[in-house]
C-alpha cells in the first residue's frame, strides 16, 4: 500500500493532465470557431481597390464559407457564374461585412444587361421611303428608254438619288457582336482581353465609368454570332451595335 504522501503526490501530478485531456476531447465546437480567422476587412478593401492579385494571395488562407464564396465570385471571369455565387452567399452564408459587395455586384451586372438590351438597333427604312425609292428607280428606267421625250427627261432625278438607296441597304443589316465583361479598372479589362485575343480579335472600349471587353468582329445575325461564340471558351453576351 502507498503512503498518504505518495498518493497525494500522484494525484497532484495526474490532475492537470486529466484537465488538459478533458478540454481537448470535450471542448465545444464554438471554441474552435472563435479561433477561425476572418479576412472580411481585407476582402472589402481589395475589392474596392480592384486588386485581384491580393485576393489571390489570401484565397488559400480563407476558411469561412461566406468569404470563400465572395472571393471566388470576385476572381471568376465568368459574369453569370459570379452573379450566381453572389446570390449563393446572400442566401446561404449571409455576412454583414460582405453582403454589400454581393448586392452591389449583382446590381452592376443587372444594369449592364439592361443597358445592353436597350442599345439602339439599326432602324430599317420605312415603307414610305421604300416606296419613294421604287418610284425613283422606275422613273429612271423610263427616262432611259425614252430619252427623246422632253417631258420625261425633265422629270428624271439626278444621279445623286441613287445614294440614299445604297445607304438604306446598309442600315437594313442587323449588326451584332459579343461582349465578355465590363470593368471599372482598365488593367483588369485588358487582362481579360489579352486572354480572349488568343481565340479571336478583341477590343476594349470605354463607356462612362466602365471598360467593355468585346470582339472587334461584327456579325449580321445573332445566329452567326452565337456560332462564333461557341469557339471561344469564355461566356459572352450578344448585343447590337451601331
CATH of the domain at 224: 3.30.70.1070
pLDDT number for residue 230: 85
Q: Of residues 170 and 87, which shows the higher confidence score?
A: 87
Establish if 207 belongs to a structural domain.
Answer: yes
- DSSP annotation of 185 reads S
Cα–Cα distance between 101 and 167 in angstroms, integer? 47
122: Cβ contacts below 8 Å, ≥ 6 apart = 171, 172, 173, 174, 175, 240, 242
Cα–Cα distance between 82 and 90 in angstroms, integer? 13
Question: 45 and 69, same structural domain?
Answer: yes
Cα–Cα distance between 46 and 62 in angstroms, integer? 14
Instruction: Tell me the mean pLDDT in the region 46-51.
Output: 86
Question: 196 and 156, same structural domain?
Answer: no
81, 99, 117 - which closes a domain = 117
If we measure between CA atoms, which residue out of 209, 220, 221, 216 comes closest to residue 232?
Answer: 216
Question: 112 and 50, same structural domain?
Answer: yes
Max mean pLDDT range (15-19, 63-67, 155-159): 63-67
Question: 110 and 50, same structural domain?
Answer: yes
Question: 43 and 107, same structural domain?
Answer: yes
Give the residue carrying C-alpha cell 487582362.
Answer: 191
- Count of C-beta atoms within a 10 Å radius of residue 190: 14
In the beta sheet, which residues pair with residue 240? 176
Question: 93 and 157, same structural domain?
Answer: no
Q: Of residues 54 and 114, which shows the higher confidence score?
A: 54
Cα–Cα distance between 183 and 207 in angstroms, integer? 10
Establish if 147 belongs to a structural domain.
Answer: yes
Question: 152 and 209, same structural domain?
Answer: no
In the beta sheet, which residues pair with residue 98? none
Owning domain of residue 218:
176-240
pLDDT number for residue 151: 41
pLDDT number for residue 211: 92
Establish if 9 belongs to a structural domain.
Answer: no
Cα–Cα distance between 54 and 19 in angstroms, integer? 43
Establish if 14 belongs to a structural domain.
Answer: no
| Gyration radius of the chain's alpha carbons | 34
Establish if 134 belongs to a structural domain.
Answer: yes
Establish if 105 belongs to a structural domain.
Answer: yes
Establish if 26 belongs to a structural domain.
Answer: no
Q: What is the domain count for the chain? A: 3
Establish if 189 belongs to a structural domain.
Answer: yes
- What are the pLDDT digits (tens) for 103-152? 999 988 888 887 766 655 554 444 445 555 566 556 555 444 444 444 44
Question: 141 and 80, same structural domain?
Answer: no
Cα–Cα distance between 70 and 88 in angstroms, integer? 9
Name the percent of the chain lying above pLDDT 90: 27
Residue 164: pLDDT band (50, 70, 90) is very low
Threshold 0.85, pTM exceeds:
no
> Which of 50-54, 171-175, 199-203, 229-233 has the least mean pLDDT?
171-175
Question: 194 and 153, same structural domain?
Answer: no
Instruction: Tell me the mean pLDDT in the region 208-213.
Output: 89
Name the percent of the chain lying above pLDDT 70: 60
In the beta sheet, which residues pair with residue 203? 214
Question: 183 and 167, same structural domain?
Answer: no
Residue 229, phi then psi, degrees to nearest 5? -65, -25
Cα–Cα distance between 94 and 66 in angstroms, integer? 7
Q: What value does the mean pLDDT of the chain take?
A: 74
Give the residue carrying C-alpha cell 495526474.
Answer: 14
> Which of 136-145, 217-226, 227-236 has the least mean pLDDT?
136-145
Amino acid at each position: 500500500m502507498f503512503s498518504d504522501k505518495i498518493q497525494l503526490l500522484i494525484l497532484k501530478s495526474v490532475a492537470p493532465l486529466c484537465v488538459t485531456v478533458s478540454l481537448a476531447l470535450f471542448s465545444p465546437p464554438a471554441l474552435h470557431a472563435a479561433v477561425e480567422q476572418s479576412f472580411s476587412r481585407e476582402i472589402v478593401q481589395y475589392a474596392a481597390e480592384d486588386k485581384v492579385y491580393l485576393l489571390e494571395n489570401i484565397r488559400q488562407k480563407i476558411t469561412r464559407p461566406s468569404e470563400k464564396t465572395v472571393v471566388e465570385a470576385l476572381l471568376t471571369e465568368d459574369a453569370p457564374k459570379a452573379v450566381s455565387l453572389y446570390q449563393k452567399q446572400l442566401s446561404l452564408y449571409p455576412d454583414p461585412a460582405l453582403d454589400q459587395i454581393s448586392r452591389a455586384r449583382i446590381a452592376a451586372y443587372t444594369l449592364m444587361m439592361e443597358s445592353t438590351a436597350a442599345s439602339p438597333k439599326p432602324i430599317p427604312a420605312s415603307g414610305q421611303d421604300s416606296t419613294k425609292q421604287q418610284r425613283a428607280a422606275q422613273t429612271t428606267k423610263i427616262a432611259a428608254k425614252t430619252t427623246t421625250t422632253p417631258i420625261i427627261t425633265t422629270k428624271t432625278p439626278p444621279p445623286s438619288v441613287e445614294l440614299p438607296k445604297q445607304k438604306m441597304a446598309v442600315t437594313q443589316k442587323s449588326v451584332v457582336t459579343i461582349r465578355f465583361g465590363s470593368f471599372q479598372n482598365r488593367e483588369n479589362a485588358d487582362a481579360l482581353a489579352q486572354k480572349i485575343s488568343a481565340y479571336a480579335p478583341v477590343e476594349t472600349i470605354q463607356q462612362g465609368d466602365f471598360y467593355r471587353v468585346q470582339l472587334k468582329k461584327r456579325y449580321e445575325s445573332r445566329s452567326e454570332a452565337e456560332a462564333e461564340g461557341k469557339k471561344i471558351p469564355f461566356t459572352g453576351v450578344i448585343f447590337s451595335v451601331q
